[in-house]
């Protein structure tokens, strides 16, 4: 598999825990390199062929600050040839109108710049009103809700990583 990075805030709580579980699920045969999304540069971002982005939703349907600060740089990048998969933490009970929106925001940003998106998932098992992460009957990435469905995360991560192992090369 090409060089693969997993980008998330090392200071986040649930997103960082999920990143550790994703890396564990890939196993030792895969060299998945953790990158702190709070210290991102364009060079670092472009140095990977496969990218996994950890993007929790904050502020009623927005990106957290550290991702938002990288958006102007991201908007100038050519991401053709990049394979990108996005996972995001959210809370479907407290924020049913914006569940996991940040996953959709990031998916749109990277696809507009030529990246190919991987790791879309089924809507089954979630309950919410609207989500920017939803498109054509699927989520654009992996949605994890550690606050209201913590027991479902393990299997969701396992299924997602199993898909990515087939899709990334």
Ligand X SMILES: Cc1cc2nc3c(=O)[nH]c(=O)nc-3n(C[C@H](O)[C@H](O)[C@H](O)COP(=O)(O)O)c2cc1C
- CB of residue 92 vs ligand X: minimum separation in angstroms? 6
Applying CB under 6 A, which residues contact ligand X?
Answer: 12-15, 56-61, 89-91, 95, 98-101, 146-147
Question: For ligand X, which is the closer residue by CB, 38 or 163?
Answer: 38
Number of residue whose CB is nearest ligand X? 90
Residue 35 or 79: the one with the smaller Cβ distance to ligand X is: 35
Task: Give the shortest CB-11-to-ligand X separation in angstroms.
Answer: 9
Q: For ligand X, give the closer residue by CB, 18 or 79.
A: 18
Tokens found for residue 69: 């600060």
Nearer to ligand X, 98 or 120 (CB): 98
- Contact predicate 20/13, CB 8 Å: no
CB of 166 to ligand X, least distance (A): 27
Shortest reach from residue 59's CB to ligand X, in Å: 5
Record the tokens describing residue 141, joined without a space. 């990435």
169 contact partners, CB below 8 Å, separation of at least 6: 1, 2, 83
């Amino acid at each position: 598999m090409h060089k693969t990075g997993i980008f998330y805030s090392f200071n986040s709580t649930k997103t960082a825990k999920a990143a550790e579980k994703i890396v564990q699920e890939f196993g030792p045969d895969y060299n998945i390199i953790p990158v702190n999304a709070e210290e991102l540069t364009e060079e670092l971002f472009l140095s990977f062929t496969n990218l996994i982005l950890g993007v929790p939703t904050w502020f009623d349907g927005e990106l957290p600050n550290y991702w938002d600060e990288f958006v102007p740089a991201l908007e100038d990048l050519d991401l053709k040839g990049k394979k990108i998969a996005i996972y995001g933490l959210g809370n479907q009970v407290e924020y049913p109108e914006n569940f996991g929106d940040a996953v959709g925001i990031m998916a749109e940003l990277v696809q507009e710049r030529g990246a190919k998106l991987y790791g879309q998932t089924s809507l089954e098992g979630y309950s919410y009103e609207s989500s920017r992460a939803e498109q054509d009957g699927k989520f654009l990435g992996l949605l994890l809700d550690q606050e209201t469905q913590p027991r479902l995360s393990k299997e969701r991560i396992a299924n997602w990583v199993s898909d990515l192992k087939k899709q990334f090369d």
